Amino acid sequence: MQLIDEIPNALKEPAVQALAWINHLEGTEFELTGVVDVDVALKAAPGETFEIGLVLCDGEICAREQIRVVPQSDHFSFSRVNSAPLEIPALLDPPEGLRQSWLNEALAKYEFVVLLFYRGLW
């Protein structure tokens, strides 16, 4: 995964526009924290459709969205891609509320709990 600071210039604008599209479509306030599948996207010829994986977080959960990007004359159009299981799963964090209930149950049993985060997974 490439963090937001490492996104190649050729993919920054499509990634930012795809983020705005997802937030508008879903009524969410995700932030773009990284991208995956950049090598494949960078191999696309100018004006050619490509796919990119966006890693999005909203403070509570993080998710991966696989997006098809279709370049238009002055903008991009987007659609979600339903594909085979991904190396990085679509839901990178537990559903909202699940983490807190699990943590409360664990703290009731133990004196302390250590949470380990690894590559966006917990």
pLDDT tens digits for 46-82?
889 999 999 888 876 778 899 999 999 888 999 998 7
8 Å CB contact between 34 and 1: yes
The pTM assigned to this predicted structure is: 0.68
pLDDT tens digits for 95-118?
556 567 777 888 898 888 887 766
8 Å CB contact between 11 and 43: no
Please indicate whether residue 100 or residue 20 has the higher confidence score (pLDDT): 20
Q: What is the torsional sign of CA 99, 105, 107, 110? A: negative
Q: For the chain, what are the domain ranges?
A: 2-92
pLDDT at 58: 81
Does residue 4 carry a pLDDT above 80? no
In whole angstroms, give the CA distance from residue 47 to residue 12. Answer: 15
